[in-house]
Copies of this chain bind each other. A is one copy, B any other.
Amino acid sequence: MRITQIIQKTYPLNSKIKNAVIDFSQMTVSVVAIHTDKVSNGKPIIGYGFNSNGRYSQEGILKDRIIPRLLNANAEELLENNIDNLDPAKCYKVMMKNEKPGGHGERSVAIGTIDMAIWDIIAKIENKPLYKYLGEKYCNGVYKNEVYTYAAGGYYYEGKNVQRLQDEIKHYMDMGFNDCKIKVGAISQTDDLKRIEAVLKILDSGENLAVDVNGRFTLPQALDFLKEIEPLNLMWYEEAVDPLDYLSNASIAQNTKIPIATGENIFSYVDARNLIRYGGMNPQRDFIQVDPVLSYGLIEYLEILKMFKVNGWSPNRCIPHGGHQFGLHVAAGLGLYGNEAYPEVFYPFGKFSKDMEIVNGKVTLPEYPGIGYESVPEIYNIMKDLK
């Protein structure tokens, strides 16, 4: 087999939402299609990917460095030894050729985008849903058919009052979620606490609500806010400080009774190892949210999971950021705790397959070969038109 062409395009998200740090009105996403000469049911196999949600499109790095390296590689550099399929580790190596160490951001997203499409191809050639392929290959044949998920929302936007926030959360519960997450840290503590209080009226208990600061607080602010929310027994307290400020993270970890969560802005194996070495997190209590698509793709993520295990962290403490269907496959196939969902934000790239139902906070995996973006009409409409 061979890759015949790789198409990439930037799509605007045009969202009106905000978190504590940025607004998303200018946010973009890279969408890619990798064409192969393999045929299934009379049609050439095409792998699709996009760059997760919340970081910008990577058109420049894809066009200038990553895609040419793949297209210029020969078969032995890309394919499994005795199977006519792509070898994702070899593809990773080709994409990282002539890249210096350090500086993990942007290029990690570009490579993760292509990596997603590569796994889509691999599972399609195997004619299996990706999660089954992953469970068989990496977890002794063990995989889940359904995955825990929670509704990430509660963003700020113009004119959104507490009533509308409550309506949003009610809607998530009506959809079948048990748990949700809201943004905090962009307004006064008093006003944020009112928002939290209002949301808790809708939910069964504090354990159904996580709050996310997106790294905005200083350590004193983070500890101050923690003091207020600790009695509420929340699900977790996310990215209270800068994602690379391991010392402050460790200070919070040492002073909290509720779980903490971080990792969505940790973009490489070495950065994840630093989080474990210095972040002071508790593998019995806390959660790690590294998003494989933002951090060089699944080959790097498999190494991260191995490193976690060596350090006493089970995959069952991982809940990737991103809210994409690829993440559901990864969670189901590699035994993660679950995966984020964005039911109302990052449209359409937060959508799951049209026949996937959320029941009691869990989502059943789709049975299409590959990732199954063909069964997400809003996303596939974009992907199938890539030219």
Chain A interface residues (CB < 8 Å from chain B): 10, 21-24, 26-28, 54-61, 63-65, 97-109, 214-215, 242-247, 265-268, 270-271, 273-274, 277-278, 294
- 22 CB contacts below 8 A, A to B, read A21-B101, A22-B98, A22-B100, A24-B98, A56-B61, A57-B64, A60-B61, A61-B106, A101-B265, A102-B244, A102-B266, A103-B106, A103-B108, A104-B104, A104-B105, A105-B106, A105-B107, A105-B108, A106-B107, A244-B274, A245-B273, A274-B274
Contact of A26 among B61, B98, B271 (CB under 8 A): B98
* Cα A105 to Cα B109 with chains together (Å): 11
Contact of A64 among B24, B60, B107, B215 (CB under 8 A): B60
Contact of A215 among B61, B102, B106 (CB under 8 A): B102
Contact of A65 among B21, B54, B56, B108 (CB under 8 A): B56
- Known A-B contacts A56-B65, A60-B58, A107-B106; the reply to A101 vs B274 at CB < 8 A is no
Supply 16 further A-B pairs (C-beta < 8 A) apart from A23-B98, A60-B63: A21-B100, A26-B65, A55-B103, A56-B64, A57-B64, A58-B60, A60-B60, A61-B106, A101-B265, A102-B242, A102-B265, A102-B266, A105-B108, A244-B271, A245-B273, A274-B278
Min CB distance, A373 to chain B, in Å?
24
A98: which B residues are within 8 A, CB to CB? 22-24, 26-27
Are A102 and B267 touching (Cβ within 8 A)?
A: yes
Most B Cβ at <10 Å: residue of A99, A104, A215: A104
A278: which B residues are within 8 A, CB to CB? 246, 274, 277-278
Min CB distance, A73 to chain B, in Å?
14
* Cα A28 to Cα B274 with chains together (Å): 31
- Known A-B contacts A101-B242, A244-B271; the reply to A59 vs B54 at CB < 8 A is no
* Cα A277 to Cα B249 with chains together (Å): 14
Are A22 and B99 touching (Cβ within 8 A)?
A: yes
A22: which B residues are within 8 A, CB to CB? 97-100
A214: which B residues are within 8 A, CB to CB? 100-101
Min CB distance, A226 to chain B, in Å?
19
A277: which B residues are within 8 A, CB to CB? 246-247, 278
* Cα A63 to Cα B58 with chains together (Å): 11
Min CB distance, A103 to chain B, in Å?
3
In the complex formed, the residue of B with least CB distance to A27 is B98
A274: which B residues are within 8 A, CB to CB? 244, 246, 274, 278
